């Protein structure tokens, strides 16, 4: 169990740093659209979690440390609902309610579609 916990911790560090770098890059290049970094990592994360979950269903021989470290650690650190929620509140408080609602809708629908696409890709590869 300790090895799985260490894999999650290490993966979480990697995922968090990747999210920070992506968000920083977007905010530096498009400050008005600061939220697109979180939007992008959430969609990519949903795609990857669907893909990896599907692949891991057929690859039970892979170590639990690897499977849990990637899904719970890396992708858990990479995607974030708390930042997403805060960014929506900032948009609303900034008088950009329509943009906030669009971000909310596209994130949820896009995330579901990305997770479905990842699972479908995994099934095609099986």
Annotated binding site for Na(+): 76, 79
Count Cβ atoms below 10 Å from residue 10 Cβ, excluding itself: 15
Binding residues: 76, 79
Neighbours of 100 (CB within 10 A): 19
71/88 Cα distance (integer angstroms): 25
How many CB atoms sit inside 10 A of residue 63's CB?
11
């Amino acid at each position: 169990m300790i090895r799985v916990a260490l894999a999650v911790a290490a993966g979480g560090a990697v995922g968090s740093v990747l999210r920070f770098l992506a968000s920083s890059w977007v905010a530096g290049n498009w400050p008005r659209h600061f939220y697109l970094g979180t939007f992008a990592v959430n969609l990519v994360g949903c795609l990857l979690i669907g893909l990896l979950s599907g692949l891991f269903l057929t690859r039970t021989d892979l170590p639990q440390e690897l499977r849990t470290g990637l899904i719970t650690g890396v992708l858990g650190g990479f995607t974030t609902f708390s930042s997403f929620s805060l960014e929506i509140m900032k948009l609303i408080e900034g008088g950009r309610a329509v943009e906030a609602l669009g971000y909310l809708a596209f994130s949820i629908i896009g995330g579901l579609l990305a997770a479905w696409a990842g699972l479908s890709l995994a099934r095609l590869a099986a």
